[in-house]
Amino acid sequence: MRIGEALVGDGLEVAHIDLIIGEKDSPVGHAFANSMAQPSYGHTPMLGVIRPNLPPKPATLIVPKVTVRGFKDAGKIFGPAQAGVAKAVADAVEEGIIPREYCDDWVVIVSVFVHKDAQDYRKIYQYNYGATKLAMKRAMENYPSLEKILKEKDRATHPIMGFRVYRLWNPPYLQVALDLTSEEQVKKIIEQLPVRERLLLEAGTPLIKNCGINIVEKIRNMRQESFIIADLKTLDVGRLEVKMAADATADAVCISGLGPNASIEKSIQEAQRQGIYSIVDFMNVSDIEEKIKSLRYKPDIALLHRNVDVETAAQERGETVESKWGNLSKIKKIVKLVSVAGGITPQTCTEALEKGADVIVVGRYIIRSHDPYYAARDFLEKMPPDPDTMRLILDEDELVGT
């Protein structure tokens, strides 16, 4: 059994093809026969034909995905879609995509999407032709490779979802800690921040305590496609708090590393179940490396965090507090990403990036600035362009006919 999928075109005439290729004496062949013998209302399968009385080989069965409700819908399926699919199968044989010696032994089942409001018959034909041939080529080559899936999974965007889920697939990133106390303050800061993929938004602990977890959803409404962290500093009932954050549309949740392992592990497990990032804040943890190793479930991000109150007290005594994050390389061997926080300036940002920090967490320098836009730029300028800026729209192996 070989399986292929392709989407080609745009607008109402867009074609989305799913197909299976297999031997007649196999589950694919049995499904082929059963579909013909037991048609379902509105999704009646039909043999592909290049023109009446001329079916292609391998024998091809076309199954409409969208319910056919009348002759107008049927005309699109029995006309341009059917012809486009059948011609693509015949051309695939001629071009060597399907070996000729298997044409009498194999069958093809093609699921065809034709929008009920599609009007342009030429485009319906063209797009279904292109999608079918591409899907067959992919099926014969076992596309995509596992390596491609793992490379693309965190930066892919589904076109019909209506929104984008950001993943941290290409660090470094700047995380702006919104350690404020009101929705109005947050809105004012967000309106001034650059719109960048490398810029992450954090609903700080004071903000969540004062406004509730729903502030995360309000931040989402202010900037729809941002990556948002809920800094809960969870110490107990981790599963409940993580679920609350996920339900409020958080992309990541911050857990306190001072909690018992059982609570931290349950929080991480719940984050995995919800499909969001788990961040463990190791502020005031004496041996971070050992603490991480002791966890059965590792967080996605380890946050090395200098205590603000400790820093303030030192400054009041006239002392200079240096940024010391320990050996980041050792920690990065245990977890996927490492973030650093605590009084970071553009100067110490450079040091942190050189040491291998994946996320730079900045609060006061930006949110207390007279110009948050340029304050954020001070950090972003030290980072590469946004990951997708230089990316081609289509990868070389996604082009029709190659």
How many Å apart are CA 321 and CA 348, to the nearest integer? 12
Is 65 in contact with 111 (CB distance < 8 Å)?
yes
- Tokens (6 digits) for 354: 């050189």
Would you put residue 310 in left (φ > 0), alpha (ψ -120 to 50) or beta? alpha
Closest among 163, 169, 171, 165 to 150, alpha carbons compared: 169
End-to-end CA distance of the chain: 22
How many Å apart are CA 70 and CA 228, to the nearest integer? 47
Question: Checking DSSP bridges between strand 15-23 and strand 106-112, what pairing results, if any?
Answer: antiparallel
Closest among 319, 313, 323, 371 to 347, alpha carbons compared: 323
- Burial label for 371, CB within 10 Å (0-12, 13-18, 19+), is exposed
How many Å apart are CA 298 and CA 309, to the nearest integer? 28
* Whether residue 115 lies in the annotated active site: no
Residues 6+ apart with CB under 8 A from 325: 304, 340, 352, 355, 357
How many Å apart are CA 172 and CA 151, to the nearest integer? 17
The helix-helix angle for 372-380 and 183-192 (nearest 10°) equals 60
DSSP code string of 25-36 = TSHHHHHHHHHH
Q: Which of 16, 30, 115, 305 is catalytic?
A: 16
How many Å apart are CA 233 and CA 9, to the nearest integer? 47
Q: Would you tell me how many other CB atoms lie within 10 Å of the CB of residue 255?
A: 28
How many Å apart are CA 295 and CA 160, to the nearest integer? 38
Distance of CA 157 to the CA centre of its chain: 6
Q: Report the DSSP beta bridge partners of residue 201.
A: 176, 228
Residue type (1 letter), 354: E
Please give the positions annotated as active site.
16
